[in-house]
Every structure is written in C-alpha cells, then in structure tokens.
Chains A and B, each alone.
Chain A
Amino acid sequence: MSSAAVTNNKGFGATLWDYLTTVDHKKLGVMYLFAGTLFFAIAGFEALLMRLQLMIPNNDFVSAGTFNELLTMHGTTMLFLAATPLLFGFMNAVVPLQIGARDVAFPFLNSLGFWLFFLGAIFLHLSFFLGGAPDAGWTNYASLALYSPGHGIDFYVLGLQISGAGTLISGINFIVTIITMRAPGMTFMRMPLFTWTTLITSALITFAFPPLTVGLFLMLVDRMFDANFFDHTMGGNTIIWEHLFWIFGHPEVYILVLPAFGLFSEIIPVFARKRLFGYSSMVFATILIGFLGFMVWAHHMFTTGLGATANAIFAVATMAIAVPTGMKVFNWIMTIWGGSVKVTVPMLYALGFIPSFVAGGVTGVMQAAAPLDYQLHDSYFIVAHFHYVIVGGIVTAIFGSMHFYWPIMFNRALSEKLGVWTFWIFFIGFHCTFFIQHFLGLMGMPRRVFTYQADQGWDLFNFISSIGAILMAIGVVLLVINIIITAKSKPLNCRDYWGDGRSLEWAIKTPVPFYNFKQTPLVRGYDPYWLEKHDGNKEGMIYAEPLGDIHMPNNSILPLVMSIGMFVAAFGALYHPDGKAWAIPVLILGLAITVGAMIVRSVKDDLGFHVHVEEIVATEEHLYGNGGNK
C-alpha cells in the first residue's frame, strides 16, 4: 500500500482502482474538484441555452417545457452539485494541511460523502434521458411539484436526498476534524480563516440539511404513496414546503459564501504581503453571519402573505446580516491598505470580488426592505442580485482559488497569462450579463419566463445580457483549456510557490506525500509558516515530534458500494408509483447492498497500516531527492 505511493507509473486499471477506493483527503479533494467542474460546465451550458432563448423576444430556440427543465437543473446543479463540491474540493485539499493533520477525522466517511454526492448527482442528471428533468424550479414549490407530470420531480427528490446525505456526512466530518485534529499549538484563535469558515459552514450544513431532508422525504412519500403532506385538498399545506425549503435554503447561501470568504481571506494576505487585518473580528463576523443566516429565511417569502409582523421581523433581521458582512469587506480593504499588492491571477479575482460582492450585498439590503421587495421579488432584479452574490462572490473565489491552490493540489501552476485573459473575459461578461438585469426587473420583467413579448421595453437589455453570457462561457472554456495545458506542464517540486505563503499548507513541499507532514508541525502563532520563515527557519517548520512510524487508514471500496446501493434503490422508489412489478425488488436489492456493505464495514476490523520510518525516508527521497522535505 505505502509503496504504491512511491511508484509513480501505474497502469490505468490500478490508477482507477486507487481513485475508486481512496480515502486520502487530497485525492478526494481532486475528485470533488473535477466532479464539481463537470457539473459546473453542464449547468453553465444550461444557462447559456436559456440566455440564447431570451436573446430576442418571442424566440423559439427552446420550448417552454424544456426551458423550465433548464432553469430547474441550472439552479439545482449550480448550488448542490457544482458550488458545493468545488468548495468541498478546496476544504479537502487544504484544511487538513492548514491544521497540520494527517487526514480528516473519518477518512472512510469522507470517501462515502463524495460517492453519495456523485451518484446522487448522476442519478439526477439521468432524468434528462429518462423522460424529462425536474421542471418546478430549484425551489420546487409544492403545488407545482405535485402537479408536475412524469418523473422529473422524483429524480429531483431522490437525487438530492442521496447527494444531500453525502454533504451532511462531509459537514460532520469537517467539524470533528477541525475540533480534534489540529497540530500542537494550533489554538482556535490561530486557525487560518479558511479553516474557520469551513468549521462554521460545516456547522451550518449540520443544522440546515436536516430540514431539507425532511422536506424531501415528505415530498417523496407524497409522490410515492399519496401521503398528502402538501396536497391542500386533502388537508395538506404547501406553505410548509416553502418554510422547510427556505429554512434550509437560506443557510445554504451562507454554506457556500462563507468558504468563499475564507478563501479570499487566505488569498488577500498572501498577495498583499500583510497579515489579515482584524483577524478576531473576522472570526466573530463569520460566526455571527452563520448564526443570523438561520434567522432570516422568511425574507424569501415576503409576498407569500405571512402578515405584516412576520415580514417586519424578518426584514430587520435580514438587514442585520449586512453588518458582519460589511465588517469583513472593510477588513479585506484594510488588509490591502498599506500592504504590498502583487496582482497575480488569484489576487485579480480577489480584487474583482470586492466591488462585485458589495454590489450584490447592497441590492440584498434593498430587498430586505419588505415593501420594496413586493416589487423586486421574483423579478429579474432578484436574479441579478443573487448572481452578483453567487458569481461575484463564490465563483470568483473558486476560480481564484484554483489558481492559488493548483500548485499544492497538482504540483503544477496554472498559466498566469491565460488566467488573466480568463479573468477579464469572464469578469466583463459577468457584469454585462447581470448588471443590466437589475433594470429588467425594475422594468417589470418577471423571472423564470421562457420568453417575452416584444415592445415591453426589455428587448435591448435582454440582448446585452445574452452577449455577456456568451463572454462568460468563453471565459470558462479558457479556464478549462488552461487546466488541460497545465496538466502537461513540468512539475514544480517546490515549497511556498507564491513566495509569501503564511499558513501551514505552504510549509510543505509539493508534491505532498500521502501522509502529509512527515512529522506533525508545532504551531507557534497565527500565520505559523510566515513566523518560521521570518525567523529564518530553513526547514519550513519546527516539528512537535521525532520522525516515527505513521498510522494511516486503508483504502476501501465499501463507500462506493454503499453509494451504488442507494443509487439502485432510488430507481426502485422512482418507478414504484408506475406499478412496475420490479420496482419494490429493486428498491430492496439496493438497500440490501447498502446495508450489506455497512455490515461488512462494522464486522471487519480495519485498523489501517503503519508507514515505517524507512519507508518515509525512501518516499521523501523519491519525491524531493536527497534530504527529503526540508
């Protein structure tokens, strides 16, 4: 096992098997990254089709029904299957290194989380080939969802249930990892901000996904067995779905944006060559945003008719979130203030992020004013607002961090030149697409429309918006080209690629060996690597232990088997309402596979293995030449 890491040239089969069974956080990070990129490309393509349809009035490029499928899958995929896994990719790749851990607390669960997410996502996307994708919006409001014919909504419910379980598992895993696996000296208030935001995000996942799970489960039994939780003619209530969905849905926004904040809080100090300004208030703001994120869900329902008092309370609570968010923005600016800013591609994304996110933030406050929201709600204004937050905040963080962390994840650097082109094309395209949509909304254009009549004053702005979408698509294609070209470039084999790394992940030489630090580092303060570097420590870090045997977990195929079981069972559940004779046996078979794998996992002792000192020395010499990781 351990010698496998030393030998580089493995056959295709062996490599595939390695990835199917791996429990290594670095490999899972890479798998999350590529799976996320795949779904990002699919959802981006769906968006492009929608923008092409809306380019001119009365267009018939895609039909009404298809358009609803596209808008549903675009939203669902981007949030659940693209942004979340991409951020999980960085969490996996970076957080264990940042806290000086060997791996996450539960490597087996980490792998299970990935495979559940991936097979849930595949299941959801199979809907395109099996009778139609879900078409009730990513919010899947109950009355329309129950009315929707075909199996689209069933794919949505089952697919998200499976992938949501994966996300929940990963969230719990990161909480335990960050609380229990920090290197000696890494107190809570010395943790890098990305670790902090990962911790808070994981806590949000733990509390926000159960309401979604409940909602999806109620929807599932409604559709499978006519349980009538949401059928108002049978005493059900559709508003309950709205509440359950948004009690999850609003924290979900912070689940995505907090890690993005964390990533920028890593990028900006490195390229400003300056300590993050107001670290403790940044931590406090993160916690406060996470807390308030649960208090504001009904601002998505101002027009549902909850009454004046509910609207008033949620309006004020929503406005309150602007305060900690504002604190963060000012702290980033003050980090730049008086620093020495090198404009690399990651920093370009950070510099583009600040004004874009502020623009998205202030329109959010405008919509918090409930009476004004009566006009803005479900218009193109809200579409503009949340794309400013999600693209301007989260996607820029993901693209910037790809450039930033590529050296650690792949031991290669993405092309800066191509990266600059990507940034400008994408950034201009983004503003061109969405800035103008604020005005479309104010001019009375509702969202989620597959077409619009000419001469309502919307023609020109829709055209401009579609041009912007094409630019964004070009930007993404350039990024993918950059990734492909980089795969063929020379390995870096260096430490601290950007030269001004501050936190622990930069203290380790790339390629990172499968056991991470050969000795657990000792953390002497905030920005531990920066401290050592400026104390003249040539070895990277001081180590807390002598070189000794390292205990590592074994690879396992069981997470994949468990996930495949759920995948199979989902087909049984899906086709059961059609009265198919094989539906129940398939459901039982799938669950049997999952439970069987769980039993195997429980009964079989898997104590992992030890990497002995000689092997560590051999690995280090193989990776870095004589002397190892110094």
Chain B
Amino acid sequence: MMKGLKKWRLFSLLAVMTVFLSACGEEYITTLKPTGAVGKEQFNLLLFSIAIMALVTIVVSVLYLYAFMKARRSKLGEDYMPKQVEGSHTLEVIWTVIPIILLLILAVPTLISTYKFADVKAMDEVDEEGNKTALTVNVTAKLYWWEFEYPEQGIVTAQELVVPTDEKVYFNLKAADVKHSFWIPAVGGKMDTNVENVNKFYLEFGKESADLKDGVFYGKCAELCGPSHALMDFKVKVLDRDGFNDWVAAMQATEGQTASAESTDLGEQTFANSCLMCHAVSGVGASGAMGPNLTTFGDRNRVAGVLEHSKESLENWVKDPESIKPGNLMTGKYGELSDEEISAVADYIMGLSIEE
C-alpha cells in the first residue's frame, strides 16, 4: 500500500514538473524567461509568491485529505455519531495569525517593487547641455496599430519598437481612440494606454533580440479594444547602444524623404496618390499620423502586425484589409486600385528600408 502510494507520488511529481518545464513558453513572448531588470524582478516575485502559496496549498490539502480519509463513514460504520464540537479559539487564532504573517512577508517585496516601478523621475533629468539623459519613447496606441515617437531624437516609427539594451527606457503611454494596453511579456508587465491621460513607466531590455527566432520580442495589446484586439501586435527590436545610435542616425537621415506622384515608378506614383495622406515615408517627425509610418517597412518582421513579411501578404492586405483586421480604419480610405498598381505599390513599400 505504502509502496503504491510512493510510486503514485513520484508520478504526480514528475507530471507536475513536466507541465512546469513545458510551460515556460517561447523566449520572445513568455513571462517565464524574462529579460531585463523589470521582468526579472516580476518573475522573482512570481516565484516567491508561488512558494508561499504552494506552502499554503500543501498544508491545506494535507489537512483536508487526512481529515477526509479518517472521517469516511464507509470506514466508521453507518451508526457512528461524531462528537459535536463547537470550535476552538486556539485554532482560530493560529489560522488567523499564520496567514497574516505570510501575507506580511509577501507584502514587503510587493510594496518595494510597486514604488520602484512607478519611479519615473529620471525621465526629466537633463545633462549640462540640457539634453535628457534617459531615452524616452512616446507610445500611441491606435485602432489596431502602435506608433512610437522618440521626441529627443525627433523621429517616429510604427509597429516595431527599436530600443537599446541595458538601460532604462521610459515610456509615455497614450491611446488615440479607445483604451488599449501596452505589454511586452518577455520584458515586463503591462500598462494601459488611457484616452485621457499619459501613463508613464519604464522597462529594461536585457539582451539583444537578434538571436531570437524572428529577431524580435513580441508585444501585445492587453485590453479589449474591438474586433481586431487579438491582432494588435507589435514587435520589439533590441540593439546594443551603438546599433541603436546607428539606427537613430539612419532614421534622422530620412528627413524630407517622400513619394512623388510624378515618379516614373508606378509603385511610388500609386503610393503618392493613394497612401501618402496617411503613411509617411520619412522617419523624421512626431506622433499623430493617420496610419503607421512606413519608413522602415522593409526592415520589419510582419505585415500589419500579424501576417508573414512578404510581398504577397502585403498585396492581400492592400486588397482587402477588412478581411485581415476587421474594424481597421484603413479600409475604404484609398479608392480602388488595380492589381497592377497593388503589385507595384507592394514592391515600393517592401523596398522602404533604412538598414543595409
């Protein structure tokens, strides 16, 4: 009997371990293999709270199973009359005080981290020349895409956030239409983008994203925002500081870049006539565009946040955005395009790149 019980225990332990191990998820999206100080601290808090809660669960389960096994009527006999106990003050005190102590223990790191993560004073610090010392990104969440403005650098991009490693990156978060929530699971917790106020927080990106499966971390919208809420993804490219500086310089170098309606290239011509009103092709500017900035489109990882990065996907998207992201604000804004024009404009957009 005992032997069987032991085997059963071993088996269940193994089963639990297997679930845990297979449950870590993919490195570019899971919170269980975090990168950067914020995500790691949250992960540690997760482990700490799981440890306390596992202790509670095990104690309760053991008591419960023991009480039940001992008290089965099938064992005690049909006529067994238990003693009618009113209660016990000692026990009540014990199971009031012990949980309070456990919760106090959990409350300490909770409170420390709460204040720490909310500390964004460094956002406004300036060096001797009056330049901000920390990198700030203004995030604007829009019906189903993300705009990232770098105010100090004077550049703006969309759908793919580019950040340097190993420094605090500060975020100003706001929504342009309805409430969304900005979340990069592998890097740290989320914060809502409200419609009426700017929320501020910071994240740290612990390692470059180049060796990840797609070369990027995945970002998500975490607040229900309409039919295409599930498709409101963005990606995060993490570069080392030099790589980031190069990227900023390359973005700044696109100043004044535009598409010309007089161009001999049908793609550029079509873009200028049908797309340019909403989509800029210069990375210099501020947030507030109608549609995602496409300056770095060729360097990106997905079309429309979710489709494979190919000309074919882009053509499908331009043909009928509604079939891919229901409720998007692009549908019906650019008139009818012929297949030839769509193909040409897709070529043009795929060619927009600032990386060599």
Binding site for B on A (CB under 8 A): 63-65, 68, 71, 135-137, 141, 143-144, 147-148, 232, 237-239, 272-275, 277-281, 303-305, 307-308, 311-312, 315-316, 319-320, 322-323, 326-327, 329-331, 333-334, 336-343, 351, 354-355, 358-359, 362-363, 365-366, 368-375, 377-379, 439, 442-444, 446-453, 455-458, 460-461
Chain A residues whose CB sits within 8 angstroms of the CB of B218 once the complex forms: 444, 456
Chain B residues whose CB sits within 8 angstroms of the CB of A439 once the complex forms: 19, 23, 25
Separation of A279 and B189 alpha carbons in the complex (Å): 42
Of all chain A residues, the one with the shortest Cβ separation from B44 is A372
Contact yes or no, A355 B224, CB < 8 A: no
Residue from B26, B81, B103, B326 having most chain A Cβ neighbours under 10 A: B103
- What are 30 A-B contacts defined by CB distance under 8 Å? A64-B227, A65-B227, A68-B229, A71-B224, A143-B177, A143-B179, A148-B226, A238-B194, A239-B196, A273-B73, A273-B80, A279-B87, A305-B191, A315-B114, A320-B103, A323-B103, A333-B64, A333-B67, A334-B91, A338-B82, A340-B80, A365-B49, A366-B46, A371-B42, A373-B189, A378-B223, A442-B30, A442-B46, A448-B229, A449-B229
Query: Given known contacts A358-B60, A371-B113, is B192 in contact with A304 (CB within 8 Å)?
Result: yes
Cβ of B82 to closest chain A Cβ, rounded Å: 5
Of all chain A residues, the one with the shortest Cβ separation from B26 is A457
Q: Which of B94-102, B130-138, B313-321, B338-346 contacts A (4 or more CB under 8 A)?
A: B94-102
Contact yes or no, B226 A144, CB < 8 A: yes
Separation of A598 and B236 alpha carbons in the complex (Å): 62
Contact yes or no, B24 A316, CB < 8 A: no
Chain B residues whose CB sits within 8 angstroms of the CB of A143 once the complex forms: 175, 177-179, 195
Chain B residues whose CB sits within 8 angstroms of the CB of A449 once the complex forms: 229-230
Contact yes or no, A375 B30, CB < 8 A: no
Contact yes or no, A442 B230, CB < 8 A: no
Of all chain B residues, the one with the shortest Cβ separation from A301 is B192
Within 8 Å by CB of B30, from A331, A338, A443, lies A443
Chain A residues whose CB sits within 8 angstroms of the CB of B227 once the complex forms: 63-65, 68, 135, 450
Of all chain B residues, the one with the shortest Cβ separation from A461 is B23
Q: Does B237 touch A at the CB level, under 8 Å?
A: no
Residues 99-111 of chain B, each 1 if its beta carbon lies under 8 Å from chain A, else 0 = 1100100110111
Contact yes or no, B178 A443, CB < 8 A: no
Q: Does B291 touch A at the CB level, under 8 Å?
A: no
Separation of A136 and B226 alpha carbons in the complex (Å): 7
Cβ of A28 to closest chain B Cβ, rounded Å: 35
Residues 60-91 of chain B, each 1 if its beta carbon lies under 8 Å from chain A, else 0 = 11011001101111101000111111111001
Query: Given known contacts A337-B67, A374-B42, A375-B190, is B92 in contact with A278 (CB within 8 Å)?
Result: yes
Q: Does B261 touch A at the CB level, under 8 Å?
A: no
Query: Given known contacts A147-B178, A374-B42, A444-B186, is B194 in contact with A305 (CB within 8 Å)?
Result: yes
Query: Given known contacts A147-B177, A315-B111, is B103 in contact with A355 (CB within 8 Å)?
Result: no
Contact yes or no, B224 A337, CB < 8 A: no
Q: Which of B50-58, B156-164, B244-252 contacts A (4 or more CB under 8 A)?
A: B50-58
Contact yes or no, B85 A311, CB < 8 A: no
Contact yes or no, B86 A275, CB < 8 A: yes
Chain A residues whose CB sits within 8 angstroms of the CB of B49 once the complex forms: 365-366, 369, 372
Contact yes or no, A239 B194, CB < 8 A: yes
Contact yes or no, A144 B224, CB < 8 A: yes
Separation of A458 and B32 alpha carbons in the complex (Å): 13
Cβ of A200 to closest chain B Cβ, rounded Å: 19
Cβ of A192 to closest chain B Cβ, rounded Å: 15
Contact yes or no, A316 B111, CB < 8 A: yes
Contact yes or no, A326 B85, CB < 8 A: no
Within 8 Å by CB of A281, from B87, B115, B225, lies B87
Q: Does B181 touch A at the CB level, under 8 Å?
A: yes
Q: Does B234 touch A at the CB level, under 8 Å?
A: no
Of all chain A residues, the one with the shortest Cβ separation from B115 is A308
Q: Does B220 touch A at the CB level, under 8 Å?
A: yes
Of all chain A residues, the one with the shortest Cβ separation from B214 is A455
Of all chain A residues, the one with the shortest Cβ separation from B103 is A319
Contact yes or no, A311 B118, CB < 8 A: yes
Within 8 Å by CB of B117, from A339, A371, A378, A461, lies A371
Within 8 Å by CB of A304, from B110, B194, B224, lies B194
Instruction: Give 11 new A-B contacts, CB below 8 A, not counting A374-B189, A442-B31, A457-B26.
Output: A137-B224, A144-B178, A147-B226, A278-B87, A305-B191, A330-B91, A333-B67, A336-B68, A366-B46, A366-B53, A447-B222
Q: Does B297 touch A at the CB level, under 8 Å?
A: no
Cβ of A152 to closest chain B Cβ, rounded Å: 12
Contact yes or no, A450 B230, CB < 8 A: yes
Cβ of B142 to closest chain A Cβ, rounded Å: 12
Residue from B22, B23, B115 having most chain A Cβ neighbours under 10 A: B23
Cβ of B33 to closest chain A Cβ, rounded Å: 10
Query: For residues 232 through 287 of chain B, which have their beta carbon under 8 Å from a beta carbon of chain A?
Result: 233
Cβ of A232 to closest chain B Cβ, rounded Å: 4
Chain A residues whose CB sits within 8 angstroms of the CB of B117 once the complex forms: 308, 371, 374
8 smallest CB-CB distances across A and B, nearest first, come from: A374-B189, A443-B25, A444-B185, A449-B230, A308-B118, A278-B87, A371-B113, A362-B53
Contact yes or no, A272 B224, CB < 8 A: no
Query: Given known contacts A341-B71, A444-B29, is B64 in contact with A354 (CB within 8 Å)?
Result: yes
Query: Given known contacts A375-B190, A449-B230, is B26 in contact with A456 (CB within 8 Å)?
Result: yes
Separation of A305 and B200 alpha carbons in the complex (Å): 8
Cβ of B206 to closest chain A Cβ, rounded Å: 15
Separation of A279 and B110 alpha carbons in the complex (Å): 34
Separation of A303 and B80 alpha carbons in the complex (Å): 55
Contact yes or no, B71 A272, CB < 8 A: yes
Cβ of A83 to closest chain B Cβ, rounded Å: 22
Contact yes or no, B64 A275, CB < 8 A: no
Q: Does B169 touch A at the CB level, under 8 Å?
A: no
Chain A residues whose CB sits within 8 angstroms of the CB of B223 once the complex forms: 141, 378
Cβ of B116 to closest chain A Cβ, rounded Å: 8
Q: Does B310 touch A at the CB level, under 8 Å?
A: no
Chain B residues whose CB sits within 8 angstroms of the CB of A239 once the complex forms: 194, 196-197
Separation of A320 and B96 alpha carbons in the complex (Å): 11
Separation of A447 and B225 alpha carbons in the complex (Å): 12
Separation of A446 and B223 alpha carbons in the complex (Å): 8
Chain B residues whose CB sits within 8 angstroms of the CB of A340 once the complex forms: 71, 73, 76, 80-82
Contact yes or no, B106 A365, CB < 8 A: yes
Query: Given known contacts A238-B194, A443-B25, is B60 in contact with A329 (CB within 8 Å)?
Result: yes
Separation of A563 and B178 alpha carbons in the complex (Å): 35
Contact yes or no, B82 A273, CB < 8 A: yes
Contact yes or no, A336 B71, CB < 8 A: yes
Chain B residues whose CB sits within 8 angstroms of the CB of A281 once the complex forms: 87, 92
Contact yes or no, B99 A326, CB < 8 A: yes
Cβ of A304 to closest chain B Cβ, rounded Å: 5
Contact yes or no, A338 B71, CB < 8 A: yes
Contact yes or no, A444 B96, CB < 8 A: no
Contact yes or no, A371 B181, CB < 8 A: no
Cβ of A597 to closest chain B Cβ, rounded Å: 40
Separation of A351 and B67 alpha carbons in the complex (Å): 11
Separation of A358 and B60 alpha carbons in the complex (Å): 8
Contact yes or no, B190 A372, CB < 8 A: no
Contact yes or no, B95 A330, CB < 8 A: yes
Chain B residues whose CB sits within 8 angstroms of the CB of A238 once the complex forms: 179, 194-196
Contact yes or no, B226 A443, CB < 8 A: no
Q: Does B299 touch A at the CB level, under 8 Å?
A: no
Chain B residues whose CB sits within 8 angstroms of the CB of A278 once the complex forms: 86-88, 91-92
Separation of A278 and B111 alpha carbons in the complex (Å): 34
Of all chain A residues, the one with the shortest Cβ separation from B186 is A444
Cβ of A457 to closest chain B Cβ, rounded Å: 4
Q: Does B289 touch A at the CB level, under 8 Å?
A: no
Query: Given known contacts A340-B73, A444-B186, is B57 in contact with A359 (CB within 8 Å)?
Result: yes
Q: Does B166 touch A at the CB level, under 8 Å?
A: no
Cβ of A250 to closest chain B Cβ, rounded Å: 18
Separation of A590 and B216 alpha carbons in the complex (Å): 59
Chain A residues whose CB sits within 8 angstroms of the CB of B88 once the complex forms: 277-278, 334
Cβ of A314 to closest chain B Cβ, rounded Å: 10
Cβ of A245 to closest chain B Cβ, rounded Å: 13
Query: Given known contacts A305-B192, A439-B23, is B230 in contact with A452 (CB within 8 Å)?
Result: yes
